[in-house]
Amino acid sequence: MKRTLCSLALIILITPGFGQTSSPVPWVDTIGGAYEVFPNITYGTANNTELKLDLYLPRNRTAPVPTLVFYHGGGWVEGRKESDVFLFLPYVALGWAVVNVEYRLGRVSPAPAAVEDCRCALRWVYQRAKVYRFDTEKIVLTGGSAGGHLALITGMLPAGTPFDRQCPTDNSTRWQDGTEPVMKVAAIVNWFGITDVAALLDGPDAKHYAIEWFGSMKDREELARELSPLTCARDGVPPVITIHGDRDNIVPYSQAVRLHASLDRAGVPNRLLTIAGAGHGGFTGEQLAQSFAAIREFLRAQGVLTTK
């Protein structure tokens, strides 16, 4: 499940219309002095493991800013948050805040640990919104492959889900009135993410990474269904744009098609951008430019992106 988008993401910054500002080389000005980075902030603890995230924040924030929450890929069993930082650059060029999340991998804790952690990280974003000036009306979740799945399921799980129970709930982490936060997500950008987890455990689409994530636990099929975005597709979930190659042999393209159909039936704004002939990432510069142009258009339609 090695991610292959990073090596080409920088191309997007010089693609007309996405990262364009008044500067002839916008990303130099943006990264060179307008941003500050806060690495390895602990957002929770589980299984004696401190869970970390990195913040990329525009300096001199005078108002809340749109915020991207990123989950790395790796089939839930490998990968690290530092491996995909180039994918943030198009959003950094727009002046967004970025929250880059790590989570427990399968070798530390099997399913549903990664989902629990990603939900807790989103809760952390809401709880610290005033401190860091995150715009809670413009929070976008994204990731690729397993990270795409985590972005989807984190944003689509209903309020009160049992997968939130591990998140800190003492008075210091609640709102001032003692209530739990309602974690509204403005949109989800899904790069070839898993939408039917159970289908990867057995049968023709079985994948080693999914099998490893669940291991020998009992009732794994039932849990896999609970962790599947397809199960959560319903009216009221966040708008979703999916980018998926139609020759993907790691995450079947059919999963993207099925999610698109389910969201259509539920009346949820969504788009499926099919990258013809592409596999599991590894997109060309032209395909990445096409993808980010579609993302920009989609986010503008949802009222998240207001710049041209």
What pLDDT shows up at residue 34? Answer: 87
The answer to whether the predicted template modeling score (pTM) of the entire model surpasses 0.75 is yes
Measured CA to CA, the distance from residue 274 to residue 243 in angstroms comes to 6
Q: Which of 20-34, 66-80, 149-163 has the lowest mean pLDDT?
A: 20-34
DSSP 44-77: EEETTEEEEEEEEEESS--S-EEEEEEE--STTT
Per-residue model confidence (pLDDT) at position 26: 42
pLDDT tens digits along 149-177: 999 999 999 988 999 988 876 554 454 45
Q: pLDDT category, 262, cuts 50, 70, 90?
A: very high
pLDDT value at position 190? 98
Name the token pair of 133.
């000036």
Per-residue confidence (pLDDT) for residue 163, from 0 to 100: 95
Smallest CA-to-CA distance from 120 within 168, 80, 72 is with: 168
pLDDT band at residue 36 using 50, 70 and 90 as cut-offs: very high
Closest CA to 271 of 247, 244, 234: 244
How many C-alpha atoms does 152 have within 13 Å on its Cβ side? 34
Of all residues in the chain, the percent with pLDDT exceeding 90 is: 76
Average pLDDT, the chain: 88
- The larger pLDDT score, comparing residue 143 to residue 87, is at 143
For range 251-269, the mean pLDDT:
98
Which DSSP string do the residues of 213-268 spell out, in sequence order? HHTT-TTHHHHHHHT-HHHH--TTSPPEEEEEETT-TTTTHHHHHHHHHHHHHHT-
Q: Beta partners for 60? A: none
Q: First and final CA of the chain: distance in angstroms?
A: 34
119 contacts 41 by C-beta, under 8 angstroms: no
**Is residue 51 over pLDDT 70?**
yes
From CA 169, how far away is CA 91, in angstroms rounded?
A: 31
For residue 21, pLDDT over 80 is answered with: no
Burial of 43 (0-12, 13-18, 19+ CB in 10 A): buried
Give 200-230 pLDDT, tens digit per residue: 999 999 999 999 999 999 999 999 999 999 9
Domains and CATH numbers, the chain: 6-301 (3.40.50.1820)
Q: Per this entry, what is the length of the chain?
A: 308
Radius of gyration over alpha carbons of the chain, in Å?
18
Inter-residue contact 81 to 52 (CB < 8 Å): yes
Average pLDDT over residues 23-28: 40
- Long-range residue pairs from 205-211, CB within 8 A, at least 24 positions apart, any chain: 205/252, 207/75, 207/250, 208/75, 209/1, 209/74, 209/75, 209/76, 209/77, 209/78, 209/146, 210/75, 210/76
Between CA 25 and CA 192 the distance in angstroms is 30
